[in-house]
Chains A and B, each alone.
Chain A
């Protein structure tokens, strides 16, 4: 049983049957999945959702599969925590973190979109799954297509972080490093997608793939007791996630699971790859492509596919957009780790840093609820903190060494006299 009506062009509204296509053949606009909301409203309730297993598939009626998922059935339902330490550091009253740094199996929010895409690829009868990636998507496509018994071809900029390269190769995929930026990788993949019958998760399967991100929004609402935060900050690369979190909230409103959505949504980018923030600040409604240069490689997209819709979402909700420097990214990664015990990757540093800036500028008020979206894990981008977090003190295994070298520095606690 499914509730999919078909595909529809986001620009000219022409409708198309469900198939692995992503561009309107008439006006070249992107296609989107349309659902039978009236029918979903009758079957999907808070009570029903609560009885289901703790994964993103508890909202299955709002996802674009023809039947049950065949890949990634445990993905999602990651922790949402009240972040009191970080709230204190930022001087705000009510702060939450949605933590996809511990999403399974590959430690980023991309497992949500890929489990939808690979399940859909199997429905369509594809043998080969492929993607253009800045790293997290590579990990996820390699892992989930291995689990689903499909071959995979993964295209990345050749100079990605080691963690992301090894964390892709381990799954026995075909990994191709392209001498160029992500935008060049993506363009090459569009050409390959036209000539080979492969399921490119973020190209020809994009309308289905991107729907997986809505579950990030659904979970936020459910985990906050069927309410949405007043302010939500989201990192932006291609700009899809921010539009889908918003769409998730609005769908819950549409089918009556949420009463009212009065969230303002904020987009965060690195200053070295900020085409969306830059367009927002200049009041433009089109995106000027850039050549990215930032340590936040997972966000280093100069020509974001959903940039226009990201802008529209931010403006429509009354939110704002902000960017942060590479230095601020690392400082913010440390701040989150020091206050909340969460080790996020550079993209998380971008989101925390932008939140901090938006609060300091008075754009996000200090006395309303705020949620920060953490989308990836710090173990994958260790290079950037290499020389920024200090070094271990190395000593001999002798108490005297400890007392002479460690204690004078730290003075934690007092020496107690051993008693017999």
Chain B
């Protein structure tokens, strides 16, 4: 399984100045093993003496912190994007990511279309599960805070529950 790993600037020397490394593995743990075998210099930078991932290294799979998925056991699909990000450094910005839970009576309505149509917001569906009885959709939402607040009010009025997907904010 081939995935793309984004290497942070301070570690690029070890990967021959490559920003993105194509790596192999079915889980995040396997990719880390692949990386530290292919670039032995990475091992001591990413892992402590016991082989544990260093505390101030955060790993994201497609912008999701692996601690919120299944950590090193997180399964990967062909083409997944993995980012290695030092916790304290600056870097990738936070997009709003929320999950909408639809009551059965709203499942047939074009709620997501309405968000993009009525407010100046751009939505991007990341994952979803909709059947006759239940429905949830995880969205990335870009746009002004004011517009976003208005959209939240609209969703609240029509009974759609909104929960933020907590992505690791980076300090």
Which residues of A does B touch, CB under 8 Å? 11-12, 22-23, 25-30, 179-181, 183-184, 186-194, 286, 288-291, 302-303, 305, 308
Ordered by A's residue number, 14 sampled pairs between the chains whose C-beta atoms are within 8 Å are: A11-B54, A12-B48, A27-B57, A28-B56, A29-B54, A179-B144, A187-B93, A188-B90, A190-B88, A190-B89, A190-B171, A289-B168, A289-B169, A303-B168
Specify the chain B residue showing the minimal Cβ separation from A308: B55
Assess whether B67 is in contact with A288, with CB atoms less than 8 Å apart.
yes
Assess whether A183 is in contact with B89, with CB atoms less than 8 Å apart.
no
Q: CB-CB < 8 A to B56: which residues of A? A: 11, 23, 27-30
Q: Is the interface of B mostly helix, strand, loop or mixed?
A: loop
Assess whether B90 is in contact with A193, with CB atoms less than 8 Å apart.
yes
Q: Is the interface of A mostly helix, strand, loop or mixed?
A: loop
| C-alpha spacing A179/B93, complex, angstroms | 13
- For window 91-138 of B, CB contacts with A under 8 Å fall at 91, 93-94
Q: Is B10 an interface residue (CB 8 A)?
A: yes
Q: CB-CB < 8 A to B55: which residues of A? A: 11, 29, 286, 308
Assess whether A28 is in contact with B57, with CB atoms less than 8 Å apart.
yes
4 more contacts with CB within 8 A, not counting A186-B171, A188-B90, are A28-B57, A180-B94, A193-B90, A289-B167
| C-alpha spacing A308/B166, complex, angstroms | 18
- For window 58-103 of B, CB contacts with A under 8 Å fall at 65, 67-68, 86-91, 93-94
Assess whether B169 is in contact with A302, with CB atoms less than 8 Å apart.
yes
Q: CB-CB < 8 A to B87: which residues of A? A: 28
Assess whether A187 is in contact with B10, with CB atoms less than 8 Å apart.
no
Identify B67's interface contact among A25, A180, A286, CB under 8 A: A286
> Interface centre among B90, B164, B168, by most A CB within 10 Å?
B90
> Interface centre among B45, B55, B171, by most A CB within 10 Å?
B171
Q: Is B1 an interface residue (CB 8 A)?
A: no
Assess whether A26 is in contact with B169, with CB atoms less than 8 Å apart.
no
Total residue contacts A-B, CB cutoff 8 A:
84
> Interface centre among B55, B68, B145, B167, by most A CB within 10 Å?
B55
Q: Is B170 an interface residue (CB 8 A)?
A: yes
| C-alpha spacing A302/B88, complex, angstroms | 14
| C-alpha spacing A180/B93, complex, angstroms | 12
Q: CB-CB < 8 A to B90: which residues of A? A: 187-194
| C-alpha spacing A291/B53, complex, angstroms | 25
| C-alpha spacing A23/B55, complex, angstroms | 13
Closest CB in chain B relative to A410 CB, distance in Å = 45
Specify the chain A residue showing the minimal Cβ separation from B10: A25
Identify A30's interface contact among B57, B88, B144, B164, CB under 8 A: B88
| C-alpha spacing A296/B92, complex, angstroms | 28
Assess whether A28 is in contact with B88, with CB atoms less than 8 Å apart.
yes
Q: A289-B168, A302-B169 are in contact. Are A180 and B89 (CB under 8 A)?
A: no
Q: CB-CB < 8 A to B10: which residues of A? A: 25, 28
Q: CB-CB < 8 A to A289: which residues of B? A: 65, 166-169
Assess whether B164 is in contact with A28, with CB atoms less than 8 Å apart.
no
Specify the chain A residue showing the minimal Cβ separation from B167: A289
| C-alpha spacing A308/B87, complex, angstroms | 12
- For window 14-46 of B, CB contacts with A under 8 Å fall at 44-45
Q: CB-CB < 8 A to B171: which residues of A? A: 183, 186-187, 190, 303, 305
Going nearest first, the 7 A-B pairs with the smallest beta carbon separation are: A190-B90, A191-B90, A28-B86, A183-B169, A28-B56, A303-B169, A179-B145
| C-alpha spacing A135/B130, complex, angstroms | 44
Assess whether B169 is in contact with A184, with CB atoms less than 8 Å apart.
yes
Q: A180-B145, A184-B94 are in contact. Are A27 and B168 (CB under 8 A)?
A: no
| C-alpha spacing A190/B67, complex, angstroms | 23
Closest CB in chain A relative to B50 CB, distance in Å = 13
Assess whether A23 is in contact with B89, with CB atoms less than 8 Å apart.
yes
Closest CB in chain B relative to A283 CB, distance in Å = 15
Q: CB-CB < 8 A to B169: which residues of A? A: 181, 183-184, 187, 289, 302-303
Assess whether A27 is in contact with B67, with CB atoms less than 8 Å apart.
no
